[in-house]
Structure 1
Amino acid sequence: MVDRFFLTRQREVHQQEPDSITLLSGPPTCGKTSLLFQFAINSALECSSSNRKVVFICNRRRLETKPPYLSQGIDPSSDIFQGIKMKYVDDEDGIKKYFAAFHLNDTFPAAVIVDDFGDFFDERYFNYLIFKQPIFNLISIITNMKIRSCQERYGNTRGRDLAMVRTLALCHNATIHANKKGSCKLLLSDTHHGDSPRLLFIYKRWIPTIFTVKGDGSGSFLLKYNNYSGNGSSKSTKIAKYSIAFQYLLLEGITEDGDEQ
């Protein structure tokens, strides 16, 4: 299943179908967005003969600041990118609005991918910068917009957890509904700073399959597939070693891993 995040031969992509809802979690600057985008490309390739799209949900400014790296062999001008529809949102409300109306689609997308899902629930100030440049002067207009925190909106110190749970439940129900009429995958990503995804106890309630990324100490990264069973344990099957080099996503190899945790 880890090969779905890399440029592989078509027969390899179909070896094992992932669960309908999965999570990719890793440390900062490990190339998560690049992995998600390659997943989107593979999904678009699979449904290229049909009219189904792949939806990529993200924050526009963050994506433009740190665009994904493509795998070697992917032509940036390829028609396959026509099968990927970008949807830009600023907070969790944008995600909830999208999935609340999901059942109204005549044709469901082959996959919906949400980049940096957990970051949409962070308490922060968003600064919107508008630049205008007359003949000689640069006029900078900075508008500070305060976004009400999850704690304020839910009246609870664990408001962020509640917001994530409700949004995950909505995403889960929408995806299950779509899969009654055909295959529709939901892939989320999040950032963690330790050995396991932050708020793992929340994610495991809704997501049985979690991919984790960690550095190998030599500049490369290890992508690991874990399937969480009902008793909370996980079983790992494969590990992909990859790196980000020369502005490319490079797969170095995939190994079997029979260790049980």
Structure 2
Amino acid sequence: MILLSGPPSSYSSLLLTHTQFPVELAKSLTFLQREDIAALSGIDPSSSVLDRIQMKYVDDEDGINKFFAAFHMHDVFPVLVIIDDLGEFFDERTCQQKHHSPRGRELAIVRTLALCQNAINHANETGHCMLLLSDTHHGDTPRFLHIYKRWVNSIYTIKGDGIGSYILKSNSVRAKSAKYSISLQYLVLEAIYENEEQSQIC
């Protein structure tokens, strides 16, 4: 599992489809989201890529859980599954009431991530399937970082540079960082930084 987390308006949904596993290379892709947002902007509407993308709209954690609980029933597993803005599927009050705990939201996220992991592991027994997650945070780090560190293999965070561009950085010590901006809903890569270079501009 891979997580991409950034502040609001950092275009993390758009970046999801270009990070680590470009949609052009995916034989089949399932995109889970709450609303009909422009997450797949930047893809030519006439492209055959769209024929391999299944958009699935779910309202809450139950929708995600049902999807992955039935994952083993697929005749052919998707190569890539994307869950957009994961944290927004978990309403805090609803989770507290459902799990009878003030930390109900965290419990619900853990249970969903465990279910996701089991489903993806099962799919990888006979093929290759990857899960990409996005989330929104308002500080310097993902809001559920302590949970994500347990379940997610790679975590990427986005930080604005204050002048209209964004820095994409991995939690891996040796990983490079990328600076990008958005032009007409298209990603524009501005620079690639080594760790030392990136630390000087942040």
Shift of 1:213: 0.2
Shift of 1:169: 0.4
SS of 1:162's partner is: helix
| Alpha carbons of structure 1 residues 176 and 77: separation in structure 2 relative to 1, 3 Å | same
Structure 1: which 4+ aligned runs deviate by more than 6 Å?
none
TM-score by length of 1: 0.71
User: For residue 18 of structure 2, what is the amino acid of its counterpart?
Assistant: Q
SS of 1:163's partner is: helix
Structure 1 residue aligned with 2:71: 102
User: In structure 2, how many angstroms separate the alpha carbons of the residues matched to 1:177 and 1:38?
Assistant: 25
SS of 1:212's partner is: strand
| Alpha carbons of structure 1 residues 204 and 215: separation in structure 2 relative to 1, 3 Å | same
Structure 1 residue aligned with 2:114: 169
SS of 1:60's partner is: coil
Structure 2 residue aligned with 1:114: 83
1:28 aligns with 2:3: no
Shift of 1:106: 1.5
Larger radius of gyration: 1
User: In structure 1, how many angstroms separate the alpha carbons of the residues matched to 2:154 and 2:76?
Assistant: 25
CA deviations over 1:35-78 (Å, ceiling 9, x no partner): 123349823x224xxxx4100000125x2xxx23734xx42221
CA deviations over 1:78-103 (Å, ceiling 9, x no partner): 11111111000010100000000111
1:250 aligns with 2:177: no
1:194 aligns with 2:173: no
User: In structure 2, how many angstroms separate the alpha carbons of the residues matched to 1:111 and 1:245?
Assistant: 26
Shift of 1:245: 2.1
Shift of 1:257: 2.0
TM-score by length of 2: 0.90
Shift of 1:247: 2.9
Percent identical: 54
Q: Answer whether contact 1:40 1:84 (CA < 8 A) is retained.
A: no
Name the count of aligned residue pairs. 198
5 Å matches for 1:96-245?
96-123=65-92, 149-227=94-172, 235-245=173-183
| Alpha carbons of structure 1 residues 57 and 69: separation in structure 2 relative to 1, 3 Å | closer
Structure 2 residue aligned with 1:46: 25
Structure 1: gaps (5+ residues):
1-20, 124-147, 228-234
| Alpha carbons of structure 1 residues 24 and 177: separation in structure 2 relative to 1, 3 Å | same
Q: Answer whether contact 1:69 1:249 (CA < 8 A) is retained.
A: no
Structure 2: gaps (5+ residues):
none
User: Relative to structure 2, which stretch is displaced further, 242-251 or 90-99?
Assistant: 242-251
Task: Looking at secondary structure, tell me which structure has more strand per residue.
Answer: 1
1:68 aligns with 2:47: no
Shift of 1:207: 0.5
Shift of 1:236: 4.2
Structure 2 residue aligned with 1:80: 49
User: In structure 2, how many angstroms separate the alpha carbons of the residues matched to 1:195 and 1:118?
Assistant: 16
User: For residue 119 of structure 2, what is the amino acid of its counterpart?
Assistant: A
Shift of 1:208: 2.1
SS of 2:147's partner is: helix
User: For residue 83 of structure 1, what is the amino acid of its counterpart?
Assistant: R
Shift of 1:29: 0.5
User: In structure 2, how many angstroms separate the alpha carbons of the residues matched to 1:98 and 1:83?
Assistant: 18
| Alpha carbons of structure 1 residues 250 and 29: separation in structure 2 relative to 1, 3 Å | same
Shift of 1:256: 2.4
CA deviations over 1:121-164 (Å, ceiling 9, x no partner): 024xxxxxxxxxxxxxxxxxxxxxxxx71111111111101100
User: For residue 89 of structure 1, what is the amino acid of its counterpart?
Assistant: V
SS of 2:39's partner is: coil
SS of 1:81's partner is: helix
Q: Answer whether contact 1:41 1:81 (CA < 8 A) is retained.
A: no
User: For residue 97 of structure 1, what is the amino acid of its counterpart?
Assistant: K
Q: Answer whether contact 1:238 1:254 (CA < 8 A) is retained.
A: yes
